[in-house]
């Protein structure tokens, strides 16, 4: 999973040469050998790729913005990855509320947090029924935006998102 | 900027220490554990209210933010340590805290931290600098100190031989910033101070492999292994190309033959072809392997059904007599055919024996005046033409006379127990409409009688038996076998459909007058042939569709016929809709022109048309918000 995600991110960033990754430990933590030694961990590797692609704005444009990006990257690896069905519900509820008045996870532009959250949430969103997607309408809206974000989707199958409401609020 | 913390929350250690180390200007407010500072469905502390109005609720992100505003640049090394802390150390810590604080199992706690601590020790001993990322305290030191403080400062927890960690930890513990933070959060109570916080946390757990998220797809990462056999069968399928026939799978449903000797009327159309067409379309949408066949009597039929958009898989005329003759001989060999002489009606005016439907008369059972030579439309019972009272020839209206002739009979009484056994199973498991069940039961209740299967006619399938060389098969013996022959014309794999009762489900659609032929006579022929034939699993029969308030009658020219429907200029979809709308499901229904106009306007136009139009237009013209 992590490796496919990394290769999709490389393509998204327009990196010409695909990197070779190894993994470490039982959790298959991705490792990338760089000129300045190994980069260990998904977020670290991704941040490295972003810098390599000279797209530092994807990590945030100010200290505050960067902290927000970091926070959501961390949320992705600690709360979304490997979550149980119960935890998945909490995650969706959290994000649905958070995204109520937001287009992107951090600040007012697309960041690495959006990309990795999209990759991480995909297995959860794929399993949602139409009604559940509608209940988490803000997550769904953001998710649909991401899967149509130019060049991002790559390895993942598209998730069908209805644009109109099927269930009226009185029915659930 | 405002920082919200709560006492006894271990995550607050690092953020408080970070505030002190970086000397960032920041209000610190202590709140209850349950206080909702961040607009989140659940409490998340510590939390930092940013100058922009946003919130940070991740302790590591808060620390990073403080360090960055004080001039420390983010780096790969820092990012790596923080990621390790959040993904490797924290899960272990949560478990350890749970064991130590709530369960009092200090050894368990130490054990679960061993791996992380020895990794940290290794890194520190390899390094040449006093702190993790250099000569000065960085965000990494503060974060790791905050995470480990509750354990490393507790003498009761034996954390093994991690000398470098000890040295590093003591260096930090000497910092005023750290001392102040520890005092504020733990109040000198050590691990005990964390109790009320820990009680509110979901039980610390080791991440189990059963969880989903990104993990399960891991197993799909490798290419699927394709076996030799799979490759061979793929190659074989490829070489066969598109001309290959459909393989029999779960479901199929030929329809009942439209037994119409001229142009079909609307009642014929709704009863079998249209009902079956809708079902076949449904089956195809479901991805079932559906075979929808129909026998063709006239080119007229083909045109009409095409106009009604009935999608037969195969629409053909029986040309293969092989199957009918095979079944005949098998029945003969097994002693299910009887010879007997019968009295038969012959019209002297027309100089011929009269086919059943060329005779009309009064029903001997219910006295219905328009009974036909083989069946009464009123009571549904089968009639031998000679039993009709006051028979008349339909061609010349003369009274036919009775003559005797030798014929073959299907010995239904001999097959009765087998039939009953099979019917119990089929009706019990399949979908049979109420009228189909009732008609079949009434037949069995009356007791089965031998059924004549030959006729003295010029046209039809010749009987292969030399003693009956000048005779043909009775249409209801021959016609259902036509289903098999048509399938054989369509594909040479017809036996996969018709001799495969385990895998194939057979659906028959018809009007109720055809039920006995499909539930009794035809199954008996197949059972008697003892060749593992597929028998009907679902029998869906309609009641009659009347015309305005009378019967459709071809001979009297009453009603709408297939070709007339086309000439009205009304689109076939409208006809399809209305006929399905008035489909006589459980009682007779009537076709009425006025009702058709009404239903077209109210249902199709007002309801469905409007609904779709709003979608297509994409906006509600009354300003009620977009639908798209």
Residue A119 has pLDDT above 90, yes or no: yes
What pLDDT, on a 0 to 100 scale, did the predictor assign at position A116?
96
Contact B29, B153 (CB under 8 A): no
Nearest to A72 by CA among A121, A122, A29: A121
Nearest to B472 by CA among B261, B298, B325: B325
Residue A104: DSSP 8-state: S
What pLDDT, on a 0 to 100 scale, did the predictor assign at position B215?
38
Pairing outcome for strands B401-410 and B389-393: unpaired
> Domain map of chain A by residue range?
2-160
What pLDDT, on a 0 to 100 scale, did the predictor assign at position B241?
42
Kindly determine whether residue B213 and residue A81, on different chains, have CB atoms separated by under 8 Å: yes
CA dist., res. A4 & res. A7, Å (int): 5
Kindly determine whether residue B69 and residue A63, on different chains, have CB atoms separated by under 8 Å: yes
Instruction: Indicate the pLDDT class of residue B294, thresholds 50, 70 and 90.
Output: low
- The helix or strand, by DSSP H or E, that contains position B406, with its residue range, turns out to be strand B401-410
CA dist., res. B338 & res. B332, Å (int): 8
Mapping DSSP to helix (H, G, I), strand (E, B) and coil, where does residue A26 land? coil
CA dist., res. B519 & res. B110, Å (int): 77
Chain A interface includes B223 (CB < 8 A): no
CB-nearest to A64 from B50, B79, B90 is: B50
- The helix or strand, by DSSP H or E, that contains position B594, with its residue range, turns out to be helix B593-599
B54: chain A residues, CB-CB within 8 Å: 64, 68
- Segment A46-58 shows an average pLDDT of 93
Is the preceding omega at residue B46 within 30 degrees of 0, hence cis? yes
What pLDDT, on a 0 to 100 scale, did the predictor assign at position B487?
82
> At which residue do the structure tokens 């011929």 appear?
B352
Instruction: Indicate the pLDDT class of residue A167, thresholds 50, 70 and 90.
Output: low
B606: distance to nearest CA of chain A, Å? 21
CB-nearest to B211 from A29, A48, A84 is: A84
| Tokens coding B599 | 């239903």
- The mean pLDDT of chain B is 80
Residue B240 has pLDDT above 50, yes or no: no
pLDDT digit string, tens, across residues B314-364? 665 555 578 888 899 999 999 999 988 878 888 888 888 887 778 888 988
- Segment A4-26 shows an average pLDDT of 89
In DSSP terms, B539 is beta-bridged to B432, B508
The answer for residues whose C-beta is within 8 angstroms of residue A28's C-beta and 6 or more apart is A2, B218
Nearest to A42 by CA among B122, B482, B215, B112: B215
pLDDT digit string, tens, across residues B447-499? 888 888 888 877 778 888 888 888 888 877 888 888 888 888 777 888 888 88
Chain B interface includes A138 (CB < 8 A): no
Kindly determine whether residue B79 and residue A78, on different chains, have CB atoms separated by under 8 Å: no
Kindly determine whether residue B64 and residue A70, on different chains, have CB atoms separated by under 8 Å: yes
The answer for residues whose C-beta is within 8 angstroms of residue A101's C-beta and 6 or more apart is none
- Segment A21-43 shows an average pLDDT of 87
In DSSP terms, B135 is beta-bridged to none
How many interface pairs between A and B have CB atoms less than 8 angstroms apart? 128
In DSSP terms, A144 is beta-bridged to none
Kindly determine whether residue A68 and residue B628, on different chains, have CB atoms separated by under 8 Å: no
The answer for residues whose C-beta is within 8 angstroms of residue B152's C-beta and 6 or more apart is B159, B165, B166, B169
Phi-psi region of B71 (alpha: psi -120 to 50; beta: other; left: phi over 0): left
Kindly determine whether residue A84 and residue B64, on different chains, have CB atoms separated by under 8 Å: no
CB-nearest to B214 from A75, A82, A163 is: A82
List the single best residue of A3, A64, A83, A127 to mutate versus B (max B Cβ within 10 A): A64
Which residues 57-116 of A have a C-beta within 8 angstroms of B? 59, 63-64, 66-68, 70-71, 74-75, 77-78, 80-85, 87-88, 90, 93-94, 97-98
What pLDDT, on a 0 to 100 scale, did the predictor assign at position B223?
45
- The helix or strand, by DSSP H or E, that contains position A32, with its residue range, turns out to be strand A29-34
Instruction: List, as own/partner pairs, every contact residues B209-212 make where C-beta atoms lie below 8 angstroms and the sequence separation is at least 24, other chains included.
Output: B210/A84, B211/A82, B211/A83, B211/A84, B211/A87, B212/A82, B212/A83, B212/A84, B212/A85, B212/A88, B212/A123, B212/A124, B212/A127
- The helix or strand, by DSSP H or E, that contains position B106, with its residue range, turns out to be helix B106-126
CA dist., res. B39 & res. B56, Å (int): 11
Greater confidence, B162 or B287? Answer: B162
Kindly determine whether residue B42 and residue A94, on different chains, have CB atoms separated by under 8 Å: yes
The answer for residues whose C-beta is within 8 angstroms of residue A65's C-beta and 6 or more apart is A106, A107, A111
> Domain map of chain B by residue range?
2-199, 322-512+530-537
CA dist., res. A106 & res. A114, Å (int): 8
By the 10 Å C-beta count (0-12 exposed, 13-18 middle, 19+ buried), A164 is classed as exposed
CA dist., res. B450 & res. B563, Å (int): 39
List the single best residue of B24, B119, B214, B218 to mutate versus A (max A Cβ within 10 A): B214
Kindly determine whether residue B213 and residue A66, on different chains, have CB atoms separated by under 8 Å: no
What pLDDT, on a 0 to 100 scale, did the predictor assign at position B401?
86
CA torsion through residues B133, B136, B138, B144, sign: positive
B263: distance to nearest CA of chain A, Å? 45
Chain A interface includes B84 (CB < 8 A): yes
- Segment B73-87 shows an average pLDDT of 90
What pLDDT, on a 0 to 100 scale, did the predictor assign at position A125?
92
Nearest to A52 by CA among A31, A32, A77: A32
Nearest to A44 by CA among A26, A21, A25: A21
- The helix or strand, by DSSP H or E, that contains position B108, with its residue range, turns out to be helix B106-126
| Tokens coding A73 | 């990257």
Is the preceding omega at residue B538 within 30 degrees of 0, hence cis? no
Q: Which of B223-237, B492-506, B613-627 has the lowest mean pLDDT?
A: B223-237
Q: Which of B120-134, B302-316, B489-503 has the lowest mean pLDDT?
A: B302-316
Residue B218: DSSP 8-state: G
Kindly determine whether residue A64 and residue B65, on different chains, have CB atoms separated by under 8 Å: yes
| Tokens coding B12 | 């607050």
List the single best residue of A56, A74, A87, A109 to mutate versus B (max B Cβ within 10 A): A74
- Segment A153-163 shows an average pLDDT of 82
- Segment B51-74 shows an average pLDDT of 89
CB-nearest to B217 from A1, A97, A98 is: A1
Pairing outcome for strands B545-547 and B589-591: parallel
User: pTM for the whole thing?
Assistant: 0.51
Contact B290, B252 (CB under 8 A): yes
Sheet arrangement for strand B47-49: B27-30, B2-5, B47-49, B55-56
Closest-CA residue of B relative to A123 is B213
CA dist., res. B306 & res. B298, Å (int): 13
A27: chain B residues, CB-CB within 8 Å: 87-88
- Segment A139-146 shows an average pLDDT of 94
Nearest to B82 by CA among B14, B161, B136, B135: B14
The answer for residues whose C-beta is within 8 angstroms of residue B128's C-beta and 6 or more apart is none
The answer for residues whose C-beta is within 8 angstroms of residue B215's C-beta and 6 or more apart is A1, A81, A82, B209
Nearest to B508 by CA among B532, B533, B541: B541
Q: Which of A92-101, B191-200, B558-567, B604-613 has the lowest mean pLDDT?
A: B558-567
Kindly determine whether residue A1 and residue B214, on different chains, have CB atoms separated by under 8 Å: yes
Residue B231 has pLDDT above 90, yes or no: no
Instruction: Indicate the pLDDT class of residue A124, thresholds 50, 70 and 90.
Output: very high
Kindly determine whether residue A123 and residue B207, on different chains, have CB atoms separated by under 8 Å: no
| Tokens coding B276 | 């079956």
CA dist., res. B146 & res. B144, Å (int): 5
What pLDDT, on a 0 to 100 scale, did the predictor assign at position A12?
93
Residue A82: DSSP 8-state: T
Instruction: Indicate the pLDDT class of residue B569, thresholds 50, 70 and 90.
Output: confident
pLDDT digit string, tens, across residues B405-414? 888 999 999 9
A150: distance to nearest CA of chain B, Å? 22
Greater confidence, B607 or B476? Answer: B607
CA dist., res. B146 & res. B510, Å (int): 79
B75: chain A residues, CB-CB within 8 Å: none
Give the phi and the psi of residue B342 in degrees, each rounded to 5: -125, 155
CA dist., res. B401 & res. B343, Å (int): 10
| Tokens coding B78 | 């820092």
Q: Class for domain A2-160, per CATH? A: mainly alpha
Q: Which of A31-40, B85-94, B235-244 has the lowest mean pLDDT?
A: B235-244
CA dist., res. B509 & res. A12, Å (int): 56
Kindly determine whether residue A163 and residue B628, on different chains, have CB atoms separated by under 8 Å: yes
CA dist., res. A99 & res. A143, Å (int): 11
> At which residue do the structure tokens 């509820």 appear?
A93
In chain B, the percentage of residues whose pLDDT exceeds 70 is 83
Closest-CA residue of B relative to A51 is B76
Chain B interface includes A52 (CB < 8 A): no
What pLDDT, on a 0 to 100 scale, did the predictor assign at position B220?
38
List the single best residue of B72, B74, B75, B79 to mutate versus A (max A Cβ within 10 A): B79
The CATH number assigned to the domain with range B322-512+530-537 reads 2.170.220.10
CB-nearest to A81 from B40, B51, B214 is: B214
What pLDDT, on a 0 to 100 scale, did the predictor assign at position B256?
45
CA torsion through residues B423, B425, B430, B433, sign: positive
CB atoms within 10 A of CB B332: 15
Kindly determine whether residue B213 and residue A123, on different chains, have CB atoms separated by under 8 Å: yes
Greater confidence, B456 or B204? Answer: B456
CA dist., res. B519 & res. B443, Å (int): 10
Chain B interface includes A162 (CB < 8 A): no
| Tokens coding B449 | 């009688």
List the single best residue of A82, A105, A113 to mutate versus B (max B Cβ within 10 A): A82
> At which residue do the structure tokens 């590093």 appear?
B168
Greatest C-alpha distance within chain B: 128
Topology given in CATH for the domain delimited by B2-199: Glutathione S-transferase Yfyf (Class Pi); Chain A, domain 2 (1.20.1050)
CA dist., res. A41 & res. A46, Å (int): 9
pLDDT digit string, tens, across residues B423-444? 999 998 888 999 999 999 988 8
CA dist., res. B332 & res. A47, Å (int): 84
B68: chain A residues, CB-CB within 8 Å: 63, 66-67
B69: chain A residues, CB-CB within 8 Å: 63
What pLDDT, on a 0 to 100 scale, did the predictor assign at position B160?
67
DSSP-assigned letters across all residues of B549-590: TB--BTTTTBS-BHHHHHHTT--HHHHHHHHHHT--SSS-EE
């Amino acid at each position: 999973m992590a490796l496919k995600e990394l290769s999709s991110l490389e393509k998204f960033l327009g990196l010409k040469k695909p990197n070779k990754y190894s993994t470490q430990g039982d959790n298959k933590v991705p490792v990338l050998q760089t000129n300045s030694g190994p980069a260990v961990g998904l977020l670290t590797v991704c941040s490295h790729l972003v810098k390599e692609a000279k797209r530092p704005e994807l990590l945030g444009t100010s200290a505050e913005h960067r902290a927000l990006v970091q926070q959501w990257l961390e949320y992705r690896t600690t709360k979304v990855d490997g979550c149980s069905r119960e935890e998945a519900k909490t995650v969706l509820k959290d994000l649905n509320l958070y995204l109520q008045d937001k287009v992107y996870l951090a600040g007012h532009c697309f960041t690495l947090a959006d990309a990795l959250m999209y990759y991480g949430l995909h297995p959860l969103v794929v399993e949602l029924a139409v009604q559940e997607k509608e209940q988490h309408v803000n997550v769904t809206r953001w998710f649909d935006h991401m899967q149509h974000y130019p060049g991002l989707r790559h390895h993942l199958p598209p998730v069908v998102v209805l644009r109109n409401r099927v269930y009226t609020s009185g029915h659930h | 900027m405002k920082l919200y913390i709560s006492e006894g929350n271990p995550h607050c250690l690092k953020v408080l220490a970070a505030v002190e180390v970086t000397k960032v200007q920041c209000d610190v407010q202590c709140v209850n554990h349950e206080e909702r500072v961040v607009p989140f469905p659940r409490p998340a502390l510590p939390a930092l209210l940013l100058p922009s109005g946003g919130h940070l609720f991740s302790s590591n992100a808060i620390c990073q933010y403080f360090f960055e505003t004080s001039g420390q640049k983010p780096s790969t090394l820092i990012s790596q340590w923080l990621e390790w802390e959040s993904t490797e150390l924290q899960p272990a810590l949560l478990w350890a805290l749970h064991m130590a604080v709530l369960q009092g199992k200090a050894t368990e706690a130490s054990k679960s931290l061993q791996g992380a601590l020895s990794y940290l020790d290794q890194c520190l001993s390899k390094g040449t600098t006093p702190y993790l990322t250099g000569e000065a305290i960085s965000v990494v030191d503060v974060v790791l100190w905050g995470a480990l403080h509750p354990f490393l400062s507790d003498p009761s927890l034996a954390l093994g031989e991690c000398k470098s960690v000890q040295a590093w930890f003591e260096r930090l513990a000497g910092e005023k910033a750290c001392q102040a933070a520890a005092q504020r959060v733990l109040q000198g109570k050590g691990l005990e101070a964390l109790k009320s916080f820990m009680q509110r946390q979901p039980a610390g757990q080791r991440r189990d492999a059963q969880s989903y998220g990104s993990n399960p797809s891991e197993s799909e990462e490798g290419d699927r292994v394709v076996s030799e056999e799979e490759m061979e069968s793929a190659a074989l399928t490829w070489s066969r190309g598109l001309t290959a026939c459909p393989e029999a799978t779960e479901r199929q449903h030929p329809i009942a033959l439209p037994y119409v000797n001229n142009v079909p009327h609307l009642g014929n159309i709704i009863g079998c072809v249209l009902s079956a067409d809708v079902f076949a379309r449904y089956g195809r949408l479901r991805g079932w392997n559906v075979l929808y066949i129909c026998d063709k009597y006239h080119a007229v039929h083909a045109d009409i059904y095409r106009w009604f958009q009935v999608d037969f898989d195969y629409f053909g005329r029986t040309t293969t007599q092989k199957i009918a003759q095979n079944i005949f001989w098998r029945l003969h060999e097994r002693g299910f055919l009887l010879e007997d002489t019968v009295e038969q009606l012959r019209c002297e005016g027309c100089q011929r024996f009269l086919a059943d439907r060329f005779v009309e008369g009064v029903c001997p059972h219910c006295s219905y005046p328009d009974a036909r030579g083989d069946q009464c439309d009123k009571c549904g019972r089968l009639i031998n033409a000679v039993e009709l009272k006051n028979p008349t020839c339909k061609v010349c209206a003369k009274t036919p006379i009775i003559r005797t002739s030798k014929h073959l009979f299907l010995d239904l009484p001999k097959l009765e127990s087998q039939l009953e056994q099979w019917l119990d199973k089929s009706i019990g498991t399949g979908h049979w409409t109420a009228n189909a069940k009732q008609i079949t039961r009434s037949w069995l209740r009356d007791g089965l009688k031998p059924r004549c299967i030959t006729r003295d006619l010029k046209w039809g399938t010749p009987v292969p038996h030399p003693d009956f060389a000048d005779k043909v098969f009775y249409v209801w013996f021959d016609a259902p076998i036509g289903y098999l022959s048509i399938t054989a014309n369509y594909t040479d794999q017809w036996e996969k459909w018709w001799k495969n009762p385990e895998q194939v489900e057979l659906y028959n659609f018809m009007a109720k007058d055809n039920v006995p032929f499909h539930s009794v006579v035809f199954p008996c022929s197949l059972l008697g042939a003892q060749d593992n034939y597929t028998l009907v699993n679902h029998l869906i029969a309609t009641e009659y569709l009347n015309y305005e308030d009378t019967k459709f009658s071809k001979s009297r020219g009453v009603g709408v016929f297939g070709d007339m429907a086309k000439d009205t200029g009304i689109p076939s979809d409208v006809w399809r809709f209305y006929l399905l709308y008035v489909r006589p499901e459980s009682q007779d229904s009537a076709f009425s022109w006025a009702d058709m106009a009404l239903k077209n306007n109210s249902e199709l136009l007002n309801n469905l048309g409007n609904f779709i139009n709003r979608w297509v237009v994409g906006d509600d013209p009354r300003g009620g918000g977009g639908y798209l």
